[in-house]
Amino acid sequence: MIPSSAVPSAALNLLITQGFDATSVDELATAAGISRSTFFRRFGSKENMVFADQEMIITHVETTLAASSVDATQTLIDAAHVVFDQYTANPEAAQLRHKLLSSVPSLRERELVSTHRYERAFYQFLARRDLVSTPAAHALGLGVSAGLVAIHNDHLRMWLREPHSTDRTKLAHDVLIFLERFSDVLNPNDESRKPASATPSVVVSVLPAGADEQSILDAVAKALRERQH
């Protein structure tokens, strides 16, 4: 289980009230209740501190994807749950971090990089399952990966606005609806997901012996028309 308090709320709150650039590492270390040397050992920089939780979540997602033995659809739902559960485990820190990112452009740019890392983790999972080996499947894999992140982020934004507006069950429902549109790519060996083969049509016509080719064709065409009616 990833600790939900890797980034101290007191440190995030200080960055918001005092300003990101105006806050020193010493002040952040004091707010976090650790020494300056421990701060640098644990985080490395102010920016890294803000994203420390996210780094652990990405690692957890990659582990979940690599260790899964269930089908691709369920694995991707499980991974979406991992991200959502960890972001929402500490509501206070999540709200503070969201407010901080909204006010500091450089942090928003770092957030965008993290978004691409989630997409890459999902795509690499599909590649390991040999589900994106053709050009068409490659394009779909990129779309699936980006779509998963977009759906998750939409639910996270809803949760940030109103914590009771969504939960992991609603997230799983929306992800499943989305992934079912790509079931032929994600679960190519699942016979239950493949469309049933069309049953061939059989018509019977009785013709006199020695009927010529045109008469046979006319008789078959007539029988087919009658069958349709």
Q: How confident is the model at residue 5 (pLDDT cuts 50, 70, 90)?
A: very low
Q: For residue 140, give the nearest of 84, 188, 81 by alpha carbon.
A: 188
Q: How confident is the model at residue 82 (pLDDT cuts 50, 70, 90)?
A: very high
- pLDDT over 50 at 125, yes or no: yes
CA distance 29 to 38: 8
Q: What is the DSSP letter of 33?
A: T
What pTM, to 2 d.p., does this model score?
Answer: 0.76
Residues 6+ apart with CB under 8 A from 208: none
Residue 33 Rama label (left phi>0; alpha psi -120 to 50; beta): left
- The per-residue pLDDT for 188 is 77
CA distance 205 to 94: 75
Per the prediction, the chain carries an average pLDDT of 86
Q: How confident is the model at residue 8 (pLDDT cuts 50, 70, 90)?
A: confident
- The per-residue pLDDT for 21 is 93
Contact assessment for residue 156 and residue 137, using Cβ atoms and an 8 Å cutoff: no
| Minimum mean pLDDT range among 1-5, 105-109, 195-199 | 1-5
| The token pair that represents 131 in the structure block | 């589900």
CA distance 192 to 190: 5
